[in-house]
Every structure is written in structure tokens, then in C-alpha cells.
Amino acid sequence: MNSTYNPLTAAWDAPYGLPPFDKIRAEHFGPALDAAMAEHVSEVAAIAASKEPSSFENTIAAFDRSGEALSRVALVFHNLTSSMTDEALQAVERDYMPKLALHVARFLLDPGLFARVDAVHERRGDSGLSPIQVRLVEKMHLDFVLAGARLDEAGKRRAAELVEALSVKCTAFGQAVLADEDEAYVLIEDRAGLAGLPPDLVDAAAEAAKAKGHEGQWAITVGRSFVEPFLTASKNRELRKKVWEAFSARGEMRADRDTKPIIKQILELRAEQARLLGYSSYADFALVDRMAKTPARVAELLDAVWPPALARAAEAAAGLAAIARESDGIGALEPWDWLYYSDQVKRRDYALDEAEIKPYFSVDNMVKAMFWAAGRLFGVDFVEVKGVPLYHPDVRLFEVRDRAKGTLKGVFLNDNYSRAGKRSGAWMSNYREQSAGVVPIVVNNNNFTPGKVGESVLISFDDAATLFHEFGHGLHGLLSEVDYQGLSGTNVLRDFVELPSQLFEHWALAPELLEKFAVHVETGTSIPADLVARIRKARTFNMGWETVQYLGPALLDMRLHALTALASFDAARFEREERARLGVPPVVGLRHRLPHFQHLFADNGYAAGYYVYMWAEVLEADAFEAFEEKGDLFDPDLAARLKRCIYAAGNSADPAEAFRAFRGRDPRIGALLKQRGLG
């Protein structure tokens, strides 16, 4: 092959317009991104320099369509740096993430382009535009304004510098946390350390140790899907402590990549960005383009849930401490004890044992189950296609077909297992976004712990809910029916984006679905009705712990981004003092500590926005009640309205109006409190 050949800039001939995964190397990205950015610059320059009067078509729609080459290369780049990275790709990431951020910022700060956008915006009410076209005009105009399009030249230069600097720091943060997650593990050298662990976790630990060069021993890595089952099952308290401490220390394990100084730098840059644009804090700035609009409205929601959550957590802690004292002589309950003794309570009070539950929840069957639920609700079929080159053997490809029309609706990639070079957590992304005449390519990433080759991977019911959650995001991208890419799929307000995902979790407990797909991995029998009833009954069990674990970081996030004086800021001290001020029980702790809080510091997406999961839960709990009131979780009329108003609509309507169109009224918080057992 010619040494100058670049598969990213050559014609893509893989099926479905997929990237040529089998040919791409890290060294291809730099030249491809440079070429694509140059092409994009030319396209936008032509829009800005047009002698024609500005119109929706020649300015707004043209800008929305521009950058197709860059979009397809950049999406591959972003996806692989998250799910399949290595040192070579990370070097490209450090070099090009700032360049990509600055590339977009320069367009939004271009006075000639903004003048044309502004002119269309001024005339939007009397230009005969459709509601969705007006929506795109308003969104695009706000993007320009929030980027600094109205600043003077000195202000624009500084705005661009801040965007570039933030990209550098966020990339450094994400790479540091990933390095800790890849390197850290707790080694178990003899079988005595396996006491209490189920066979599938023992097998996974053996495979992890082998991968780390310790064949014949067992390793617990620090991904949540490995750590939480271990903390739940292990009888060895000292090992539980070691695993919890390693998990908690991500982001500050080594002095040379301690993220706490980076956090301060990111916060200083964000605070300056907000001031430059006329806002008193970054929280005020970030919430302008959210449903919540103001920090006060976020506080109203979080403050309504925090006290009852603390009360429930304190009540549970007292009960767990009594069990630990009576059964094991433990004087003081610690964070690494909570899940272990909670499991004992679950067994005692709900007759639930993960060893009984997990054989009914194999990953492969739960994937079939989520496809089946989507088919029943939304009239789509998922057909697996093999033999297409993908970026890792774990990834599976499915055609998504409209059942009534028989047409291709999208392409779905499913990447379910943890590995080195893949960041922790679970997320949805795109390799191609939907727009008029363009079918999307959507990917779901999870981090389930792989077991022995050829054997079914078993997961907890909570993990199955996570699978359904990410698939809810996936459906939001796949079912999109919007002409303009800037409004399609998940390009919605941040505190609306979690509605489709959290809502779809409910169908993981649909009785028809469980009967068909929750079948025992060995016997093939359906999950017993009494076991399902026990799982349902226990859904609010431990909800005080879960709510405090989530709300604590959400409250810290809002407090962080309300800061305006950061000269003496110290991340460790801030976290310690805020935990005390809020009354976070030490035995409960935080789901995310600041040094590894990637939602906040690996990029800007959830900065002053971690609250959005609870904001969306108000919406989804109320929305699901509509199906419960009907008495049919697959009611065809409700499902059709849900698809039309929520899953297919993207950002084509104001999200509050979209919810009202589905529910017939505004959301009420009562359903959330009931769902969490706090009402």
C-alpha cells in the first residue's frame, strides 16, 4: 500500500458507510483532521462571504450541513479515544483536541458569519419559516452568543484562548484518570481471599490477573462493574478496604498525574469564561441553555430531595452498623462495609441473593430483551450482521429496520465489555448523526466484566438496568426523524437528554419481557414470578444510600461552579469541607470524588450539570406513570405518542412543550419521590 495512503481521507467503502476500522492507525488521524478542518474552513468562508442576502437556507441550513468530512473523521477519533485508546492515540488526542475546540470556536466568533446568522434571527418571526426552522435559528444564534460573538476583538481573542486552554486541561484530566484505571488493581494471591465471591466473579478475577501477568492468581481492577460486586460479596474486610481505597483514589494515585491541580485550573478558566460573557459564575452561564435556566431552580429540586435522602441513609446506616456489630464484632461501619452488609439485609428482609438472580440475567439475553422491548414499543427490528470489520472483536453490529416500511432506520454497534484502553462507565455515542436522508450510526458502550471465553456473562439486575439505560440513549439517536443535524437525536438540552435513557430502564422489569428473556443460563427456565416480585419489592431498598451518593456530587458540582474566587482553591479541602457542610455521612460517601469526576472535568458537557439525572428523573417517573395508569406497558397509542414527542423529535421543539405534548400536562415531582421511596 502506498505510504501516503490514508484510509480516513480515502473513500469509505465499508458497509453502511462505516469507518474503515481495520485500516485505521493512530498516525492517520492528524493528516485527516487537518485536511477535514481545512475543507470546513473553506465551506464556512463561502457562507460568510456570500453576496446574497442572508436567508435560512444559505446561512443557517448551510452552516448546519457544513463540515461533513470533519464530522465523520472527528467522530471516529472521539469514539476510539474513549473505547480503544493507546499511547499513540493519546498523543494525537493531546495535540488535536485543542485544535478541534479552537476550530469550532473561531467559526462562532467570526463577525461576518455571525452578522448573517443574526440577520436571519432578527427576521425569524416574519420569514415564513416552519417551527423547526425557527428552533434551529434560535439554537444556532444562542450558540454564537454564548461563545462570545458579541464581544469586542480583544474579548473574542480571549474567548478563543479559553476554549483552547480548557480543551488541553480536560484532555489531561481524562487521560490521567484512565491511566489510573488501567494500572490499578488489588491482587489476591491465595484462595482464602476469594471467600464469599460467586464463581463468575472468581473467573473474571482470574482472567484479569492473567491479563496483568499474574496467571494463577486473582485481580480486582477498579472499574465500578468489578468493584461493586466485590464489595457486595467479599467476606474479607481487609481486601474490601484495599479495593475501596484503590477505587476511591483514582485520579490521585501518582503525584505526576494528580488531577487536583488540573481541577483548579479548569475551574479558573471556566470562571473567567463566564465573567468574560457577562455572567457572575460559570453555573449561571452553563444553565442559560438548559431547562432549569438558573441555579436557584436546580437548588429547589435538589434541596427537596436531599433531607429525606439523608434521613433514609442515616436510618439504614444504623441498621447496618447493628448487623456488623452483632455478626462480626465491628465497632464502626466503614464505606467498604456498606454494600456487604446491605446484601445481608437484602437476603434477610427480601430473600434476595445475587447468586440466585444473576443466572437469569445473561448479557446476551438482556440485549435480545432490550431489542424486543424497542420493537414492541416503536416498531423496529434489530438484525445482527457479522463479518463487517469493527474496531474490536467484542463489538457487535445490528441493522435497525422500520418494521412497517422495511427500510433501514439506522446501524447500532454494541460494545459491552471492559478492557484496557477503554474508559470506565457506560455511554452512548455516534459514528454518524441522523439528518434528512442520513441514517445514524449509534454505539452503546458498557463496562461489564468479561468472563471465560465461550461462557455466558452474567450481570446483576442493576447492570441490566444500566444496559437498558444506555440503549434508551441509543434509541434517542436511532429513532430520530429530524431534518437538521444540529437538532437531531441527542442534540437536546442537557437536562432533557437523560429522559429517554432513564425512562427506558423501566422496561427491564416488564413482566412479558422477563418471562421471555430472563431465563436461567443452565436450565432455560423463566425467572420465577416470586423472584420478580422480590426484586420489585426491593427496588427502593438502599435508596437512601444511592440518592445521597448521587446528590452529594450534584450539590458539590453546583457549589464548585458557583465559585468566583479561586486563587486559594484546593480541591481536597473543598471536597472535605463541603461534605461536612452538607452532612454527607462518611460511611455513605460520594459516587464520584472530585479527582476522578469525569462528568465534570474530562469535558464541559456536565459541568454545572450533574443534577440533570435527577431533573430528568422527575420527567421520566411521571412519564412512566402514564403507562402504569393505562395498565399496559406497551400501550400502542401511548408508545406512538412517546416516539413522536420524545424519541423521534430530537430538539425540534422546546423540551417542556415536548413533555406536555406527551403527558398532557407539566411534570410533577411526586412520581420521583414515590419511585425512590422518599415520598
Euclidean distance between CA atoms 384 and 547, whole angstroms:
38
Q: Give strand pairing partners of 381.
A: 401
Contact 190, 177 (CB under 8 A): no
Q: What is 652-668 written as a DSSP string?
A: SS-HHHHHHHHHSS---
Q: What strand order describes the sheet that includes 380-385?
A: 380-385, 396-402, 408-417, 441-448, 427-432
Euclidean distance between CA atoms 390 and 412, whole angstroms:
12
Q: What HEC string does 505-534 produce? A: HHHHHCHHHHHHHCECCCCCCECCHHHHHH
Helix (H) or strand (E) holding 414: strand 408-417
**Catalytic status, residue 93:** no
Among 252, 470, 546, 617, the active-site one is 470
Distance of CA 436 to the CA centre of its chain: 26
Distance of CA 300 to the CA centre of its chain: 24
Residue matched to cell numbers 485543542: 98
Classify 400 as helix, strand or coil: strand
Euclidean distance between CA atoms 191 and 236, whole angstroms:
11
Question: Alpha-carbon dihedral of residues 315, 320, 321, 323, nearest 10 degrees?
Answer: 130
Euclidean distance between CA atoms 598 and 337, whole angstroms:
25
Q: Which residues of 234-269 are buried (b: 16+ CB within 10 A; e: fewer)?
A: bebeebbbbbbebbbbbbbbeeebbbbebbbbbbbb
Contact 8, 73 (CB under 8 A): yes
Q: Give strand pairing partners of 380.
A: 402
Euclidean distance between CA atoms 527 and 39, whole angstroms:
56
Per the structure block, which three cell numbers stand in for 655? 423540551
End-to-end CA distance of the chain: 66
What amino acid positions are annotated as catalytic residues? 470
